Amino acid sequence: MAVLKEIEEEIKDSLATSRRSFVTTMFAISGAIVGGLLALPLFRFTTFPLKKVESEGDWSDVGPAADFAALTAPVAKTITVERRDAWQTASSQTAVYVLPAKDGVLKILSPVCPHLGCSVQWQDAQNKFVCPCHSGSFAMDGQRLGGPPPRSMDALESKVENGTLKVRYRYFRQLVNTQEPMA
């Protein structure tokens, strides 16, 4: 009878141990699942800037295309730029330069100097663009002539739609040799 009692106690102990290990294993598995589910949004949040693509932006009206057909020098025009950020839309006004047409195609330049972001101005008397901050100079077509700017003026994408000249305004990185849009 004593032997049976010992065997019975061993069976109870082994069952209790297996129940404990089963419960411990289940807690560990469910904890790992819950931890993974909670970590997924955090992982997506931290890696989102790496996956974000620059928004294409909206087209802004510059004016009737016919008004720019007879240009002989660059003309500064003020445009309204709308930026969408999540649920907000912000409007701002900025200037662009419309260049005389070459082969019937109008070219539009950003007035922002690629050196440090000052506003480049067209000088009729000198027949060139001049940056007032560090004396950078650019030809009528926006090509760099001299000074500290690392590249030519930034050309903007443009199109004529229903007789209206439109431009897609973008901001570009400064102090780099290539034209890199900023997100």
Instruction: Tell whether 95 and 156 lie within a shared domain.
Output: yes
Separation CA 148–CA 131 (nearest Å): 10
Within a domain: 64:
yes
Within a domain: 92:
yes
- Dmax over CA atoms of the chain, in Å, equals 119
Separation CA 143–CA 29 (nearest Å): 64
Within a domain: 136:
yes
Total domains, the chain: 2
Within a domain: 178:
no
Q: pLDDT of 86-99, one tens digit each?
A: 667 788 899 999 99
Instruction: Tell whether 154 and 68 lie within a shared domain.
Output: yes
Instruction: Tell whether 40 and 97 lie within a shared domain.
Output: no
User: Domain with 82 in it: what CATH number?
Assistant: 2.102.10.10
Q: How far is CA 91 from CA 81, 82, 84, 165, 172, in A?
A: 6, 4, 9, 19, 19
Q: What is the CA radius of gyration of the chain?
A: 33
Within a domain: 176:
no
Q: pLDDT of 95-111, one tens digit each?
A: 999 998 887 788 999 99
Instruction: Tell whether 3 and 81 lie within a shared domain.
Output: no
Confidence of residue 119 (pLDDT cuts 50, 70, 90): very high
Instruction: Tell whether 156 and 66 lie within a shared domain.
Output: yes
The number of angstroms, rounded, from the C-alpha of 89 to the middle of its chain's C-alpha atoms is 16
Instruction: Tell whether 47 and 65 lie within a shared domain.
Output: no
Separation CA 137–CA 165 (nearest Å): 27
Q: pLDDT of 131-172, one tens digit each?
A: 988 888 999 998 999 889 999 999 999 998 898 899 998 889
| pTM strictly above 0.85 | no
Separation CA 110–CA 171 (nearest Å): 8
CB atoms within 10 A of CB 93: 9
Please give the residue range of the domain that contains residue 124. 59-168
